[in-house]
Amino acid sequence: DSGGMQATITEMTALGGQLKGTGSYRWDDNGAFSADVELQNLSTESLAPEYPAVLSGDLAVSGRVEPLSVSLDVRSMTGEALGQPVAASGRIEMADGGITADQFNILSGTSRVVLNGFPDEQNGLAFNADITDLGSFLPDSRGSISAAGSLYLRSGWPVLSLDASGTEVGWQDFSVSSLTVNGSNLNQAGTANAFDLSLVETRIGDTVLEQTNARLVLHADRQAFSIDARSGLNEINLELAGILEQPVDGSEEWSWSGSLDTLHALLNGKDQISLQQPAPIRVSAELARLDSACLLGSRGATICLQSGWAAEEGTEFEASIGQVPLDVLNEILGMDLRLTQMFSG
């Protein structure tokens, strides 16, 4: 057949195990492909050393290279991964930048993840996860997470509903004693709603934040983010808002324009720094820029800065400092010097 090829494998040794099945590829049909495979004791260690697994199962895969689409039907899959017994079943399809699932289940030890549905339908793509040991899914991680929600596309805008909680969650040198996330970016009235995040005892290396609260608004007409964090006698509050400009006329370019509206910091329980007026922000795939952010301190100090990054030019940063007590500068820089003078520059 000059338009494609077919193959039948009665039995073959590969990746430390055995497999058999059939497959086809059509170069005269935009790279359409299909395979029906049975595998036994295949090891992934040589392909993904960070995620060693030994798997056996029965599955079918099909799709096209152009435009790219893949459909995976896992009739049965069992084995061991990261030292935990694993199993999978169900069907999942990826096409047009979206995911469709039909009771797609992944089990690892006592943990389970389930996907079901279609993002374009009213009920959307539903997901449910009960992970008692995050390390059984993600190398170098730890802790437990429970999450449930759905994702669907409403007039082209992603609508997400999410409720999640976690205990002693960590990855490498980052950890948090407890976390909760809940909310939706669309309420029943069809107006913007918010996601709320709460973190208790967040550790990033040697830095510890006792309490962090954040709110994220994701709506087609407005996006906003705010955060309050506390570390010892130090506190910070930040708020920004803007609008995502969607690509038009087939263009892949996007941009987000808004402003940093609030920035307030308390240093060592005594010195305060506040943003004098909103500072413009613009972000896209090609650039990021913060303009004219001027901060006023409780002892008359002023700090004005602007910074930017562009794909071709790189990073630029400008700052002017006036009447900043050096003990405040010392606190910001984390030094341990005895200073009483003022600094300008």
Residue 96 pLDDT exceeds 70: yes
The predicted model gives 233-253 an average pLDDT of 80
CA proximity to 229, closest of 212, 206, 216: 212
Could you read off the pLDDT of 35-55 as tens digits, one per residue? 999 999 989 888 888 888 899
CA proximity to 51, closest of 87, 79, 14, 81: 81
Q: 227: pLDDT confidence band, cut at 50, 70 and 90?
A: very high
Residue 114 pLDDT exceeds 50: yes
Q: 345: pLDDT confidence band, cut at 50, 70 and 90?
A: very low
If one compares 259 and 254, the residue with the highest pLDDT of the two is 259
CA proximity to 143, closest of 125, 120, 168: 168
Using an 8 Å Cβ cutoff, are 11 and 18 in contact?
yes
Q: pTM to 2 decimals?
A: 0.71
Q: 263: pLDDT confidence band, cut at 50, 70 and 90?
A: very high
| Beta-strand runs (E) in 221-313 | 222-231, 234-245, 255-267, 271-275, 279-284, 287-297, 302-310
**What DSSP character marks residue 328?**
H
DSSP-assigned states of every residue in 199-217: EEEEEETTEEEEEEEEEEE
Distance (Å, rounded) from C-alpha 251 to C-alpha 243? Answer: 18
Task: Give bridge partners of residue 25 from the DSSP assignment.
Answer: 5, 33
* φ, ψ at 143 (rounded to 5°): 100, 180
What percentage of the chain carries pLDDT values higher than 70? 87
How many beta carbons lie within 10 A of that of residue 143, not counting itself? 20
CA proximity to 101, closest of 86, 121, 81, 87: 121
The predicted model gives 82-111 an average pLDDT of 87
Q: Is the dihedral of CA 76, 113, 55, 66 positive or negative?
A: positive
Buried/exposed code over 58-72 (b: 16+ C-beta within 10 A; e: otherwise): bbbebbbeeeeeebb
Q: 343: pLDDT confidence band, cut at 50, 70 and 90?
A: very low
Q: Whole-number mean pLDDT of the chain?
A: 83
